[in-house]
Amino acid sequence: MKIALFPGSFDPITKAHVDILERSMSLFDKIYIGIGINGNKKPHLEPETRLEMIKAVFGKDPKIEVLTYEGLTIEFCKQLKAKYMIRGIRTVSDFEYEKAISQMNHALEPEIESIFILSKPGYSSISSTIVRDILRHGGKVEKFVPPAAMPFLKVNS
């Protein structure tokens, strides 16, 4: 069974995330969406809200399971028995960053492969960081997030 982990903050999930995941589905038998919890950062959405939001976006697809985790992503892969880690690449700087992490992960756990999937051009400018900034300033984000995610988003004024 081919098991993959798609890790990220998903704060919030965007159409770019959904695109990468949907394009990955034919490659794997099971995909875990891992919501990484970083205690040093103040999230826009609480982990439980992100978990419910992602579940709403992907419904009851039997290939997808959504979990939260803390600590090293490579250790979470091992815990899940995932041999693949899916990473979306939007820009050259994303590639350089992800390449360095992939090489470190490979040094820690050679049996886990990083799979890079290039963002479609129409999604390359969408990031959770930008969406959060738009939300903080009361802007509209419907173009950037899946419709099922909208009820979970709150605008901080």
128 is catalytic: yes
Q: Where are the alpha helices (DSSP H) in the chain?
A: 15-24, 47-58, 73-80, 92-108, 128-136
Q: Is 126 annotated as a binding residue?
A: yes
41 is catalytic: yes
50 is catalytic: no
Catalytic position from the list 44, 119, 128, 132? 128
Q: Do 153 and 142 contact (CB within 8 A), yes or no?
A: no
Q: Is 114 annotated as a binding residue?
A: no
Give me 53's structure tokens: 């939001």
Catalytic position from the list 15, 44, 50, 90? 90
H/E run at residue 89: strand 84-89
Q: Is 99 annotated as a binding residue?
A: no
Catalytic position from the list 17, 44, 50, 132? 17
Q: Is 89 annotated as a binding residue?
A: yes
132 is catalytic: no
Catalytic residues: 17, 41, 90, 128
